[in-house]
Amino acid sequence: MADLKETPSQTAGPYVHIGLATEAAGFSAFAPYGANIAGPDAAGEQIRVEGVILDGEGAPMTDALLEIWQADAQGRYSDTQDDTGNNTGFTGFGRAVPDFETGQFAFDTIKPGATDGAPCLHLWLVARGINLGLHTRMYFDDEPDANATDPVLNALDPARRPTLIATRNGNAYRFDIRVQGDNETVFFDV
Amino acid sequence: MSTHAARDLSRHPAALTPRYRSSILRSPTQALIRLPDGPADRHGPTFGHGSIGALDHDLIQNYTHGGAPVGERVIVHGRVLDEAARPVPNTLVEVWQANASGRYRHKKDTYMGSMDPNFGGCGRTLTDEDGYYRFDTIKPGAYPWPNGGNNWRPAHIHFSIFGAAFCQRLITQLYFEGDPLIPLCDILQTVPHPSDIDMLVAKLDMETTVPFDSVAYRFDIVLRGARSTPFENRKEGN
């Protein structure tokens, strides 16, 4: 049994970048974490992810912050002791800040390997108006066989599955997040 | 099998809290889908001591441009624990805040409060083996914000904590004991239970207060869950 209760969440507010992505706020204090998920030497296919985060009226959320957490190309997380294979320059963690005017975000990484299901990125979204950070997942539309057997995707209402699947377009994947309304993205309690 | 208990969502602010207007269009209408924790949730990013500068936790000194920031010097400190009251060591704690005038060093903040050339407003540290952390800073000012009325934020410091696993990720806010704006705050009052609101209020700590220097406030943070088994395969010291 738990002896203590979890500290309640509070919104990150509109100025989250000061603490978590300082240079986006407009100044520099120390080298921020999250600028590099997988460096150029990390094993795996280099990919780019682009998208926009939309509110219930379809307006871009220009003051949000997105965190990325993922496995390497062999399906391993960076905090595990496993020296097989090459994951040089791989942290598995990153932060993406939407453009303050357009709301477009983009980040570069490598495509993760499979762990306990189809390959996916784990995303965590905070912003003004979000009281508790939102966990979601991004799957890949060019992994149809793996997606078809993924236990998490399969547990969802089929109509909602496409909200978690990014669309490949050239060298980039498009992944828009709809926080509320039509085609609302699936969010998880993990 | 889950190594973390399910989060008690009833104790966090609901997604939709109309008194905090920004939540109206930014709250999912569908319930969160509960998942048993998988590898991504049991693991989490790690941050080594080597990347933390000696002054990163000291907001009085880490953005100085030849002088000291204006305002009340304060120490905010405490421990990061899990729900079984065990310390969470070596975890990254990041903070950000307004300056003593209630102004943020952010290109989108246009409040009339003064900028302070010697104050950045961000800090970070790793907890020690006992889960302990400390920041030296300036007490932030209250400031007005648009929420449909004469709305003022109490003095507060934003806290971001990682924990040992990504499912423990938490962002919250520290408030200061005795602030008369606390009962009026439409963001703080989204917390459902009054006793939980008290968890967000740092307490005056005269034992740690440094005479003729800084007033201290104590703020312990509890992350969700408790690991059922030791995590034997983490990189040492990382």
Give the pLDDT of residue B229: 45
Written as six digits, the tokens of B204 are: 């005056």
With 70 as the cut, is the pLDDT of residue A34 above it?
Answer: yes
Give the chain A residue whose CA is nearest to the CA of B226: A2
Give the pLDDT of residue A156: 97
- Give the nearest partner residue to A8 out of B25, B191, B238, using CB atoms: B191
Q: How far apart are CA B163 and CA B169, in angstroms?
A: 6
| Smallest Cα distance from A160 to chain B, Å | 11
Model ipTM value: 0.96
- Give the nearest partner residue to B63 out of A29, A124, A189, using CB atoms: A29
- Report the Cα A78 to chain-centroid distance in Å: 16
* Three-class DSSP category at B143: strand
CA angle B19, B166, B217 (to 5 degrees): 60
Model pTM above 0.90 = yes
| Smallest Cα distance from B125 to chain A, Å | 12
Give the chain A residue whose CA is nearest to the CA of B172: A10
Question: DSSP class of residue A74?
Answer: T
Query: Which residue in the block uniquely carries the two structure tokens 């496409």?
Result: A162
Give the pLDDT of residue A188: 97
Residues of B19-44 as b/e, b for ≥16 C-beta within 10 angstroms?
ebbbbbbbbbeeebbebebbbbbbbb
Residues 100-129 on A with a CB inside 8 Å of B are: 100, 115-117, 122, 124, 126-129
Rg (CA), chain B: 19
Question: DSSP class of residue B133?
Answer: E
Which helix (H) or strand (E) segment is A95 a member of?
A: strand A93-96
CA-based torsion, A160, A161, A162, A164: positive or negative: positive
**Do residue B234 and residue A81 have CB atoms under 8 angstroms apart?**
yes
Give the pLDDT of residue A35: 83
Contacts of B140 (CB under 8 A, 6+ apart): B71, B97, B98, B99, B100, B102, B121, B155, B156, B157
- Give the nearest partner residue to A69 out of B32, B34, B45, using CB atoms: B45
Residue B174 or residue A82, greater confidence: B174
* Three-class DSSP category at A58: coil
Amino acid letter for position B83: E
Number of Cβ atoms within 10 Å of the Cβ of B130: 12
Amino acid letter for position A123: L
Give the pLDDT of residue A84: 63
| Smallest Cα distance from A139 to chain B, Å | 14
**Do residue B107 and residue A26 have CB atoms under 8 angstroms apart?**
yes
Contacting residues of A for B196, CB less than 8 Å apart:
5, 8
**Do residue A33 and residue B62 have CB atoms under 8 angstroms apart?**
no
The per-residue pLDDT of chain A, averaged, comes to 94
Flag whether residue A56 sits within 8 Å of chain B, measured between CB atoms. Answer: yes
Amino acid letter for position B110: T
**Do residue B40 and residue A25 have CB atoms under 8 angstroms apart?**
no
| CB-based contact B39:A78 (threshold 8 Å) | no
Closest by CA position to A60, among listed B217, B26, B231:
B26
Residues of B104-117 as b/e, b for ≥16 C-beta within 10 angstroms?
bbbeebeeebeebe
**Do residue A8 and residue B51 have CB atoms under 8 angstroms apart?**
no
- Give the nearest partner residue to A18 out of B6, B96, B169, using CB atoms: B96
**Do residue A13 and residue B158 have CB atoms under 8 angstroms apart?**
yes
Confidence of residue A158 (pLDDT cuts 50, 70, 90): very high
| Smallest Cα distance from A63 to chain B, Å | 9
Q: How far apart are CA B61 and CA B76, in angstroms?
A: 15
Give the chain A residue whose CA is nearest to the CA of B92: A33
Confidence of residue A2 (pLDDT cuts 50, 70, 90): low
With 70 as the cut, is the pLDDT of residue A150 above it?
Answer: yes
Q: Could you give the count of Cα atoms lying within 13 Å of A27 in the half-sphere of its Cβ? A: 20
Flag whether residue A3 sits within 8 Å of chain B, measured between CB atoms. Answer: yes
The DSSP line for B65-122 is SSSPPSS-EEEEEEEEEETTS-B-TT-EEEEEE--TTS--SSTT---SSPP-TT---E
With 80 as the cut, is the pLDDT of residue A176 above it?
Answer: yes
**Do residue A189 and residue B32 have CB atoms under 8 angstroms apart?**
yes
With 90 as the cut, is the pLDDT of residue A128 above it?
Answer: yes
| Smallest Cα distance from B170 to chain A, Å | 6
Give the chain A residue whose CA is nearest to the CA of B220: A7
How many contacts (CB atoms, under 8 Å) link A and B? Answer: 252
Given the DSSP bridges, would you call strands B143-145 and A93-96 parallel, antiparallel or unpaired? unpaired
What digits encode the pLDDT tens for the residues B137-179? Answer: 999 999 999 999 999 999 999 999 999 999 999 999 999 999 9
Q: Stretch A122-136: mean pLDDT, rounded?
A: 98
**Do residue B43 and residue A27 have CB atoms under 8 angstroms apart?**
no
Written as six digits, the tokens of B141 are: 């000012």
Q: How far apart are CA B209 and CA B197, in angstroms?
A: 24
| CB-based contact B114:B47 (threshold 8 Å) | no
**Do residue A188 and residue B221 have CB atoms under 8 angstroms apart?**
no
| CB-based contact A108:A45 (threshold 8 Å) | no
Rg (CA), chain A: 17
Give the pLDDT of residue A3: 86
What's the distance, Cα to Cα, between the start and end of chain B in Å?
Answer: 27
Q: pLDDT of chain B along its 238 residues, tens only?
A: 346 778 999 999 999 999 999 999 999 999 999 998 888 888 999 888 888 999 999 999 999 999 999 999 999 999 999 999 999 999 999 999 999 999 999 999 999 999 999 999 999 999 999 999 999 999 999 999 999 999 999 999 999 999 999 999 999 999 999 999 999 999 999 999 999 999 999 999 999 999 999 999 999 999 998 654 444 444 443 3
Written as six digits, the tokens of A63 are: 């003051």
Contacts of B230 (CB under 8 A, 6+ apart): none
Which residues of B are designated catalytic? 104, 143, 153, 156, 158
- Give the nearest partner residue to A69 out of B158, B166, B171, using CB atoms: B166
Q: Partners of A65 in the beta sheet?
A: A126
